Amino acid sequence: MINSIIVIESEEILAEKFKIIGGESLKGEVSIGGAKNAVLKLIAATILVKGSTKIYNVPRLTDVEIMLNVISDLGASCIYDKEEKSVIINASNISSITAKYELVSKMRASFIILGALMSRCREAIVALPGGCAIGERRVDFHIKGLEALGAKIKIENGYVHAKASKLVGTDIYLDIPSVGATENLMLASVTAEGSTRIQNAAQEPEIVDLANFLNALGADITGAGTSEIVINGVKQENLHPIEYTTIPDRIEAGSYMAAVVATRGKAIIKNVYPAHLTFFNDKLIKMGASIKLVEPTTIEVSCKNRLNSINFVTQPYPGFPTDLQAIAMTLLTTANGVGIITESLYENRFMQVPDLRRMGADIHQDRNHAIVKGVKNLTGATVAASDLRAGAALVIAGLMASGETIVEKLHHIDRGYEEFEHKLTALGAKITRFDDNENNSLPNSNVMNIRGIL
């Protein structure tokens, strides 16, 4: 069954807030959805192939909506089924090679369309995403890598114009194991002549998922999940449509684990790949949490006592994920002792700090280091999400705090957490979404507004 899509005007989205009454221990069961940072790239990759490709385990998120709009703008048809959480994409006819600033500026991840378009059309015009709240987030490795494959690149009027009569495989060394650059170059190399070797490649599970997806389409990629990925070029006509299921979202899973631990609760978390969270699990256990494997994709998380402080440094996978840094900081705010956090991936990813301080946290920040001295408890306050993960961290802080917390700017949170308040409510949290104008609670959390498919 194909469901129609809910359309909520953007002004209304901006006015939405969470009201949280803290102090409840989370208990029960929660199921994790498909990985946002994998599915966005799979959607882009569907344009390599003619015919209908179906992807399952596609979360209903605004970022997914944006990526579907990017490819429908290029001529692909997209049908999202909200009950089945699947999307069918047919990119048989690509009528445009331009990804507009209006879309790319809303979500940096849409820059991934550059590599996909080069693989399919040998030409692409893609808006440069620019910086974002958490850092400068350059795309120089993407560009240099494409040039090494033989593309001529011009940067004009805020757009990257890439063109190649043919792409030829080569060795590419990345200065930093960039997730996006690894993915963009993997996509571009799928139909290049000969072999491409990406050295110092990112090793995130989402890279492996993209490689598995591309191989299922007919690509020839080995080494994904290690620091060296080899892509043997195949002919585009050998690629064929498939059905594929996205991996679970490790950051969503880590967020619920933290929420349970933060509230000294006990819950079953389903549809999680524990191996994707080894480093984070290890840190939670050192803090005093208990994590038991119930089934291969089900864990039980619990915590009875006040947490102990820990130190950690964010690193590329398999190190401590930067996307869980703000949430882990929230846990440290009331832990016993002092914890030191070093953020090594982004220049500006401590934006949760001023709001956590407003809730009573004792945090000293010096450039990319934060020293968190555990206090007895947090108190509710009005705070605002500054980005997706900082927003989730503030929600968890609200669950821990005494009294009422209002979290504003939910549009950041809706980018990456599907039905956040519904899942938390099912675990016993007191959290409601309301609209500032009406002060009414709202039934629906996420938004999907995909042009051209209604």
| 412 near ligand EPU (CB under 6 A) | no
Catalytic, 132? Answer yes
> Does 277 interact with ligand EPU (rule: CB under 6 A)?
no
Binding to ligand EPU, residues 95-124 (CB under 6 A): 108-109
Site string for ligand EPU, 211-250 (x = CB under 6 A): ----------------------------------------
Question: Rounded to the nearest whole angstrom, what is the least distance from the CB of residue 251 to ligand EPU in the complex?
Answer: 6
CB of 415 to ligand EPU, least distance (A): 8
Kindly tell me which residue out of 176, 275, 285, 293 binds ligand EPU, with binding defined by CB under 6 A: 176
Q: Are 249 and 392 in contact (CB under 8 A)?
A: no
At which residue do the structure tokens 């990759």 appear?
A: 45
By CB under 6 A, tell whether 181 contacts ligand EPU. yes
The answer to whether 276 contacts ligand EPU (rule: CB under 6 A) is no
Minimum distance of ligand EPU from residue 44's CB (angstroms): 10
- Give dist(CA 314, CA 329) in Å, integer: 12
Apex 173 CA angle, 205 and 228, nearest 5 = 40
| Interacting residue with ligand EPU among 141, 213, 312, 420 (CB under 6 A) | 141
145 binds ligand EPU (CB under 6 A): no
Total residues at interface with ligand EPU (CB under 6 A): 25
When asked if residue 350 is in the footprint of ligand EPU (CB under 6 A), the reply is no
Phi and psi, residue 243, nearest 5°: -115, 140
Residue 65 in contact with residue 448, Cβ under 8 Å? Answer: yes
Residue 208 makes contact with ligand EPU by CB under 6 A: no
Q: Which is nearer to ligand EPU, 42 or 401 (CB)?
A: 42
- Exactly one of 119, 178, 255, 330 binds ligand EPU (CB under 6 A); which one? 178
Closer Cβ to ligand EPU, 232 or 348, answer by number: 348
Among 78, 121, 132, 303, the one annotated catalytic: 132
Q: Is 65 in the site for ligand EPU (CB under 6 A)?
A: no
Based on the shown chain and the rule CB under 6 A, indicate whether residue 374 belongs to the binding site for ligand EPU.
no
Site membership for ligand EPU, residue 411 (CB under 6 A): no
**Segment interacting with ligand EPU, rule: CB under 6 A, options 68-76, 153-161, 177-185, 273-281:** 177-185
Our finding on whether 409 is near ligand EPU (CB under 6 A) is: no
Residue 80 burial (CB count, 10 A): 23
User: What does the block give as tokens for 317?
Assistant: 């996978």
Tell me: does residue 346 bind ligand EPU (CB under 6 A): yes
Q: Which is nearer to ligand EPU, 137 or 430 (CB)?
A: 137
Question: According to the binding rule CB under 6 A, does residue 136 interact with ligand EPU?
Answer: yes
Should residue 37 be labelled a site residue for ligand EPU when binding is judged by CB under 6 A?
yes
Residues identified as active-site: 132
Residues of this chain that interact with ligand EPU (CB under 6 A) are 37, 40, 108-109, 135-142, 176, 178-181, 202, 322-323, 345-346, 388-389, 416
